[in-house]
Chains A and B, each alone.
Chain A
Amino acid sequence: AQTVTQSQPEMSVQEAETVTLSCTYDTSESDYYLFWYKQPPSRQMILVIRQEAYKQQNATENRFSVNFQKAAKSFSLKISDSQLGDAAMYFCAYRSYMNYGGSQGNLIFGKGTKLSVKP
């Protein structure tokens, strides 16, 4: 079974600075997808960025970028120029490429990292 580990329960960053959130995962599959979701206090789940495992190029979305290391099974999220609105829980998630092992494409989440942004 696949697992996702976020080793930082809480992180803090100064406004306008850069912060990196860590995520590692375990899988025997060769094709899969990885995601970062943001959950602000409103509790809405918002997709931040996604990465296909077969793509070597790291995904970027404006101030958000990932460092995907497939061999190391690592998928960290970098937030540049942090803003107050970035304060939230961040979840790393894994999804199988196909319907492996009874999966229907459901997400497997890490336990989350609570990010605080200091003004």
Chain B
Amino acid sequence: DTAVSQTPKYLVTQMGNDKSIKCEQNLGHDTMYWYKQDSKKFLKIMFSYNNKELIINETVPNRFSPKSPDKAHLNLHINSLELGDSAVYFCASSQDASGFGNEQFFGPGTRLTVL
């Protein structure tokens, strides 16, 4: 069974469109994350979320919004897509936000290409 899954794995779309990337974890974890990996392979946190709190990286445009229908899902919605949004987006989860044993498990990534 896949621990953290993302759909789709590849997404090609036109500038200005609105799109969503879905993330699901079957590990029973409390905390989920979205990371962005740019064309130079640099990984940066976008959001972290548990059932109590959403923390947003201040550099993330408000066109990006995470939505969590339940503890196992954290979807990423992107409005008015721009060329610079092209990247690989990773979802991850951990048991909770603290403690050493809480390894983060990553999804396979979604490669978003904006034309």
Contact = CB atoms under 8 A, between A and B. Distances in A.
Given A104-B50, A112-B42, A33 B98 contact: no
A97 B40 contact: no
Interface string B32-45: 01010000111111
B41 A44 contact: no
Contact of B41 (A42, A89, A99): A89
A97 B98 contact: yes
A104 B54 CA distance: 9
Interface residues of B, number: 29
Interface of B: 31, 33, 35, 40-45, 48-50, 53, 55, 88, 90, 92, 94, 96-98, 100, 102-104, 106, 108-109, 111
A106 B90 contact: no
Interface residues of A, number: 24
A97 B101 CA distance: 11
Given A52-B100, A111-B40, A112-B42, A105 B88 contact: no
A45 B98 contact: no
Nearest to A109: B43
Contact of B48 (A89, A104, A109): A104
A106 to B, nearest CB: 4
A47 B103 contact: yes
* Closest 4 A/B residue pairs (Cβ): A45-B106, A104-B48, A105-B97, A106-B45
Contacts of B35: 106-107
